[in-house]
């Protein structure tokens, strides 16, 4: 079972505070987000807010429903005695801008930086993928063709026409698929088998029929 690691570093600074973020789904610490909001409100002589009250706001409840339809899953998990609360990044950002519109610029910068980080990360995994194909491809004369073919098929699997227009989740999926292929190829010493196993694993996590994707 994959360990659900939590990132808590300066790179996840949001509105002046360090916010923990889960690696499995990018959810943010609900407590940290509320701390940002309430610290700001107290400084402005306003009362603290509770997450349950925020959810009762009409346009917020509509937003939550739309986001859950889009993601196909709950977009928040309230804190319990056993675990901290977590909230979808989009809902967290809506909370911040709802209670203080001045947070909006910082929120947009956070989103932009996060997207750039994912692009850099995906670019690194692509470089690794190229090296693995060059090392394990049985036909050395067609290495460049194979790299281009795999890159094109990964784009089809993820469902994007241009990576510059990809969402954070699509970039994350590309990075996972590229690294998975590289790990498998290095372990198995077989690019074709690695490709088949990587596609099967990706389809189990994200859905889709991997059998419709041409085999390497």
Half-sphere CA count of 196, side-chain side, radius 13 A: 7
Q: What is the pTM of this model?
A: 0.53
Residue 155's H or E segment, with its range, is: helix 143-158
Residue-level pLDDT at 12: 66
pLDDT tens readout for residues 134-147: 998 888 888 999 99
Tally DSSP H helices, then E strands, for the chain. 8, 7
> What is the band of 75 on the pLDDT scale with cuts at 50, 70, 90?
very high
Distance CA 90, CA 165 (A): 18
pLDDT tens readout for residues 176-209: 899 889 988 888 888 888 888 888 888 888 876 6
């Amino acid at each position: 079972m994959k360990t659900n690691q939590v990132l808590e570093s300066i790179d996840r600074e949001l509105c002046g505070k360090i916010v923990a973020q889960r690696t499995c789904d990018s959810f943010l610490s609900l407590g940290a987000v509320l701390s940002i909001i309430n610290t700001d409100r107290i400084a402005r002589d306003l009362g603290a807010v509770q997450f349950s009250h925020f959810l009762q706001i009409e346009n917020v409840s509509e937003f939550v429903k739309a986001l859950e339809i889009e993601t196909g899953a709950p977009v928040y998990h309230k804190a319990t005695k056993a675990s901290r609360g977590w909230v979808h990044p989009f809902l967290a950002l809506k909370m911040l801008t709802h209670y203080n519109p001045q947070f909006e610029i910082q929120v947009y910068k956070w989103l932009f930086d996060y997207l750039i980080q994912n692009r850099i990360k995906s670019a690194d995994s692509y470089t690794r993928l190229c090296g693995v194909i060059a090392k394990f491809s049985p036909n050395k004369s067609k290495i460049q063709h194979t790299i281009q073919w795999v890159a094109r098929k990964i784009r089809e699997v993820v469902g994007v026409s241009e990576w510059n227009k990809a969402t954070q989740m699509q970039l994350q999926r590309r990075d996972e698929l590229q690294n998975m292929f590289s790990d498998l190829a290095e372990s198995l010493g077989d690019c074709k088998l690695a490709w088949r196993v990587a596609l099967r694993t990706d389809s189990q996590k994200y859905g889709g029929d991997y059998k419709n994707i041409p085999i390497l």
